[in-house]
């Protein structure tokens, strides 16, 4: 399956939005492409959608684009995204029928640390470096996510992921 490029996705979403207005927050590989991580190919669209999720999913499938989309990406994990992530999302394309956004860099890092794979840590380190994000800001954002989340053992794992990430971030700054 060929990799998906951001410019092609925006063109496809423009076609879709002719019949159905759409606001979408891209996460994952497509937002990494926007942020400049060119080596990271993606094969699908991961996004939060304000609009007709079912119609968009069907449209993307008809166009042979795998997707993982929903109305609330904060609910994709037991760990919530920090409150206000939708307002902080950055608009990268807008017309009268379509608005395409990406997560704010800090929120993107928290989204990656919720899952915490090696690839996620790599992606989060790239974003932290590119935007010169401070350890304190990341810790504050992680704390907001924890306070917004239901009490669950998943919080322990998330906090461990944050701890590992901060250690890697410190090590990278020393290198």
- What is the average per-residue pLDDT within 68-92? 90
- What is the average per-residue pLDDT within 73-78? 79
pLDDT band, very low/low/confident/very high, at 78 (cuts 50, 70, 90): confident
In the predicted structure, residue 73 carries a pLDDT above the cut 60: yes
DSSP 169: H
The three-point CA angle 122-125-129 to 5° equals 140
In the predicted structure, residue 42 carries a pLDDT above the cut 90: no
> Residue 27: beta bridge partners?
46
DSSP assignment of 67-99: EEEES-GGGGSSSPPPTTHHHHPEEEEE-SSEE
DSSP assignment of 84-146: THHHHPEEEEE-SSEEEEE--HHHHHHHHHHH--HHHHHHHHHHHHHTT--HHHHHHHHHHHH
Strand arrangement of the beta sheet that strand 45-50 belongs to: 67-70, 45-50, 22-27, 98-102, 90-94
- What is the average per-residue pLDDT within 4-21? 95
What is the pLDDT, as a whole number, of residue 41? Answer: 72
Q: What number of other Cβ atoms are within 10 A of residue 164's Cβ? A: 13
pLDDT band, very low/low/confident/very high, at 75 (cuts 50, 70, 90): confident
In the predicted structure, residue 1 carries a pLDDT above the cut 60: no
> How many residues are recorded in the chain?
175
What is the pLDDT, as a whole number, of residue 101? Answer: 98
Q: Quick: pLDDT tens for 18-29.
A: 999 999 999 988
What is the pLDDT, as a whole number, of residue 159? Answer: 96
pLDDT band, very low/low/confident/very high, at 39 (cuts 50, 70, 90): confident
Q: What is the gyration radius of the CA atoms in the chain, in angstroms?
A: 16
In the predicted structure, residue 145 carries a pLDDT above the cut 90: yes
* Average pLDDT over the chain, rounded to an integer: 93
54 vs 39, more confident: 54
């Amino acid at each position: 399956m060929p990799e998906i490029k951001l410019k092609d996705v925006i063109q496809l979403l423009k076609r879709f939005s002719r019949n159905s207005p759409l606001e979408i927050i891209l996460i994952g590989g497509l937002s990494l492409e926007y942020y400049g991580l060119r080596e990271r190919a993606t094969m699908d669209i991961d996004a939060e959608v304000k609009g007709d999720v079912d119609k968009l999913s069907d449209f993307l499938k008809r166009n042979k684009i795998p997707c993982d989309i929903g109305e609330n990406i904060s609910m994709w994990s037991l760990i919530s995204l920090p409150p206000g992530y939708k307002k902080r999302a950055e608009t990268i394309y807008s017309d009268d029928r379509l608005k395409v956004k990406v997560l704010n860099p800090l929120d993107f890092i928290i989204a990656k640390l919720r899952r915490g794979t090696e690839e996620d840590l790599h992606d989060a380190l790239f974003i932290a470096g590119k935007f010169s994000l401070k350890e304190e800001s990341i810790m504050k954002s992680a704390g907001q996510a924890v306070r917004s989340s239901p009490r669950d053992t998943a919080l322990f794992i998330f906090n461990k992921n944050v701890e590992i990430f901060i250690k890697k971030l410190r090590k990278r700054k020393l290198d």
